[in-house]
Structure 1
Amino acid sequence: MTRTAKRAPADRRQQIIAAAAELLSDGTGGKLTHRVVAQRAGVPLGSTTYYFATLDDLVARAVEHLSAQVDADLDEVAAAIAASDRSPGAIAALMHEYLRDADRVRTEMAVYAAGIERPELRGLSRHWFDGLVAILAEFTDDETARLMSVFVDGVTLHASLYDEPLELSAIERITRLLLAGPTDSDRS
C-alpha cells in the first residue's frame, strides 16, 4: 500500500495564498472567506484558519503574491520599452498588447481594489503606478511619465470592464498627445 505524501507546511501555506490570489483576480474578493479559499486550494478548511487566523492576513498575503506578479510584469514592460524605438506608436502597440492579456488586467485591478478596500494595502496597490512612472521617466520628463501612467490606469480599467482593450488607434493618438509634451499655451 502506497502512502500519500504530506505537503510541507510552507507548500500548503503557499498553495492557500495562491488560491486566495486567484480568487481575488477572478473578482471574488468581496466574497472571499476561509471556506471559499480552502475549496479553491483543495485543502481542509482547518488549514486556512491554521495558517491565517484572520481573513485580513490571508488577503494581505494574497495581494503580496499578486504584487510579485506585477513586479514581473513591470520588468517585462521595461525590457519591451527598452527594446523598442520608444516612439509613441511603439509605446501604444506595447500597451495595447499588454492590455490584451486578461489575466494581467485582472491582476492589476485586484491589487488596486485591495488598496481601495484596505488602506493598509495601498502601498502594494501603488506599486504598479510608481513602477510604471519610473520606467517611463527613463525617456520622458517626470510629469509626462505620471500622466502616461494615469492614462495606462484608465485604459486598464477600461479593458477590465469591456473585456478588451481600447482600440490601438485611440491608444496611439492619446500616447502621441501625451508624449508631445506641453504646448506653449500650457507653459503660460
Structure 2
Amino acid sequence: MATGQTDPRRRARILAATLDLIVDEGVAGVSHRKIATRADVPLGSMTYHFTGIDDLLREAFALFADHIVAVFEQHLGRADSPEQACEAVTDLIHTLSEGPRRDLILTQEPYTLAARRPEYQELTHAWMRRTRHLLEQHFAPDTARQLDALIEGLTLHRALDRRPHGRALTRLAVTRIAAVT
C-alpha cells in the first residue's frame, strides 16, 4: 500500500473487532482503545470511520442483524406451503439455539442495550421488522409477530437449558401459533 493510503478493510476490521469484543466483554466493556487494539488499527481510525461509540455500536449490530436475517432467509426461502413454513421455523429455532455461542450473545446484547437506552430501540425495531417481513411471506402479520417472539424465546431457552426440549415440542409450539396441523 502506498504511503498516505488507508487500508480499505480497516472499517470492516473495526466492526468485526467490535462484535468480538462485545462477545467477550459485553457492551459495557467496549471502548475505542480496546477495539483499536483488537482490530490492530491506530486509535485515530476510530473517529475517522465512526462519529462515536454509539455510531460504531449501531453499525456493528446492524451488520450482525444482516447475518441473522440471512439465516432466516435461508430457512424460510425454501418453504412453499404453510406446513413447510412451520418446518422451516422449527429448523430455524434449532439452528439458532444449537449454533455458535457468539450468535446467541450478539442476539441478546442489542435488546439489553435497547432496554437500558431508548435511543437504541430503533435498532431492535428495524431488526424485528426485517425478520417479521420474512415470516409474513408465509403467515398473517399477527401470526408472524408471535412466531418472531417464539423464535427468539425458544432459541434462548433451548440454548441455555441444561436439558433442552426436543424438536417435537418446538414443532408443536410453532404449529399451535400458526394454527397449522
Gaps of 5+ in 2: none
TM-score of the superposed pair, with normalisation by structure 2: 0.77
Quote how far apart the aligned CAs of 1:126 are.
Answer: 2.2
Q: Which residue of 2 aligns with 1:130?
A: 129
Quote how far apart the aligned CAs of 1:90 are.
Answer: 4.9
Structure 1, 124-133 or 83-92: larger mean CA deviation: 83-92
Quote how far apart the aligned CAs of 1:59 are.
Answer: 1.6
Gaps of 5+ in 1: 182-188
Match of 2:79 among 72, 78, 81: 81
Q: Which residue of 2 aligns with 1:23?
A: 21
Q: Which residue of 1 aligns with 2:170?
A: 171
Q: 1:163 & 1:119 partners in 2: Cα distance?
A: 33
Structure 1, 139-148 or 42-51: larger mean CA deviation: 42-51
Q: Which residue of 2 aligns with 1:147?
A: 146
> RMSD of aligned C-alpha atoms?
3.2
**How many residues are paired up?**
179
* Kept after mapping to 1: 8 A contact 2:72/2:131: yes
Q: 2:137 & 2:168 partners in 1: Cα distance?
A: 24
Amino acid at match of 1:31: G
Which secondary structure does the structure 2 equivalent of 1:140 belong to?
Answer: coil
Which secondary structure does the structure 1 equivalent of 2:131 belong to?
Answer: helix
How big is each residue's C-alpha offset from its partner over 1:123-150, in whole Å with a ceiling of 9 and x where there is no partner? Answer: 2212332223222222332222211111
Match of 2:89 among 91, 102, 109: 91
Q: Which residue of 2 aligns with 1:115?
A: 114
Structure 1, 30-39 or 79-88: larger mean CA deviation: 79-88
Aligned residues with identical type, % of pairs: 25
Superposition pairs of residues 62-81 of structure 1, within 5 angstroms: 62-81=60-79
* Kept after mapping to 2: 8 A contact 1:25/1:109: no
Q: Which residue of 2 aligns with 1:186?
A: none
Q: 2:126 & 2:23 partners in 1: Cα distance?
A: 17
* Kept after mapping to 1: 8 A contact 2:62/2:123: yes
Q: 1:59 & 1:163 partners in 2: Cα distance?
A: 31
TM-score of the superposed pair, with normalisation by structure 1: 0.74
Quote how far apart the aligned CAs of 1:32 are.
Answer: 0.6
Quote how far apart the aligned CAs of 1:49 are.
Answer: 4.2
Amino acid at match of 2:144: A
Q: 2:60 & 2:168 partners in 1: Cα distance?
A: 36
